[in-house]
Amino acid sequence: MAIEEHDAQETRCPRLGDFVPFQYCRGCGDPFCHFIISCWAVRLDIGQFLADHFTPEQIQRGLTRPPGGRLQKILDTCARYRPE
């Protein structure tokens, strides 16, 4: 299965509160969103997809929640995109 095969499918994102394509989920984290299994398990064989396209180390890293809460994430995002 190609990594782009499911990119056009959409689901509701619990982080953003709106619908997003699978392409966003597989690219928005390190290396993918840590919610990817809970969001996509009913729509596709996400375990097999991860095993086919990521190393065990990448999967472990991707499923580990990043430190800090929601406010910290917002502040970090603002800091990254602040004009110099």
Task: Measure the CA–CA gap between 25 and 34, rounded to whole angstroms.
Answer: 9
Q: Are strands 10-12 and 19-21 parallel, antiparallel or unpaired?
A: antiparallel
35-79 per-position pLDDT tens digit: 999 999 999 999 999 999 999 999 999 998 877 777 887 888 788
For residue 83, is pLDDT > 70? no
Q: What is the pTM of this model?
A: 0.74
Of residues 72 and 83, more confidence is placed in 72
